[in-house]
Each structure stands twice: as structure tokens, then as C-alpha cells.
Amino acid sequence: MDLAALDKPETADLGHELARASARARLLRAKEETKERDRLPLVLTTMWRDAKKQAFSLCENNATGRFDWQIDTAEAEFKHFKPTAAHIFKALPDEVREMGECQDDNFDVYIETGADGTTFNVKFDYEKAIAGAMHDLTKNGGKLSATADATVVSVARLV
């Protein structure tokens, strides 16, 4: 029998208090992180409004088949939540995420993570689809078809 063990108190009140304080802080941090994660789709939707205008402007002015959307999550001022590329993809606005998930090989969306871990580059590639769009726009003897005219008008309204 260890006589020194008999002299020790059965519980360490200070240890329990410290553990409870840490547990409370961890639970609070987890709750705040969940709130921040739940806010990510709204943050990206707000950022997408401006990026979408830039994308259409770039297409119209430069006839490009690619667009890079730079996202800096530091703007969201998250304290606890550190989004990953997977979080970003899941939280993208529906139209962007659907473009990335579609089975059509003419469209691609992928995400690169910046070295700092707070910036992401959402890359849109629709170069392969341009030939089909050009065919649709010119199939009536070099003139824009009525459908193409309607498409151009509806795209202009989106922006």
C-alpha cells in the first residue's frame, strides 16, 4: 500500500474547474464555428453578384472562354471557421455549383486554394461550349435567330 497516496485528496477541485472552463470554451467555439459555416452560402451569394457581372463583362468585351472568381474569406471576418475548398464548393450559389456538377464535358468549375488558406480561386471553363453557342447564334444564314436574340436579352437582364 502506498502511504503517500493516502495523503492525496480524492478529487482535484481546481482541475475540475479548469476542465469545465475549457469544455465551456470549446462548446462555445464549436457553436460559433457552426454559425459561421452556416453563413458561408450567404457570403458567397453576395460576393457572386459582383463576380457574375464581371464574368459577363469579360465575356462580352474579351470573348473569353474562362473566368476566375477570386474569393477572399477574410472579408467574411470568420473568427473560428476556416473554410476549405470542399466547404466553398458546397456553399457556392446554385447556378455555379450546378455548372460544376453537370455531366456536360463542355463546362468545368474547379477551385484552387491560395497559399494563405483564406483565398480561393473558382475557375470557370466554358471554352468548349462556345463553338456550340456560335452555331446556335448563326444557324439562320449568319443572322441571330429569334431564340438567340431572346437569350441575349435574358442574359442582359441577369446582369
User: What is the mean pLDDT, run by run of 10 residues, along the chain of 159 residues?
Assistant: 60 87 95 96 96 94 93 93 95 93 86 93 92 83 53 45
Cell of 102: 453537370
CB count, 10 Å around CB of 140?
A: 12
* pLDDT for res 137: 85
Radius of gyration of the chain (CA): 26
| Distance, CA of 148 to CA of 154 (rounded, Å) | 10
Q: What is the layout of strands, in order, in the sheet containing 119-125?
A: 66-72, 119-125, 108-113
* pLDDT for res 157: 45
| Distance, CA of 126 to CA of 110 (rounded, Å) | 12
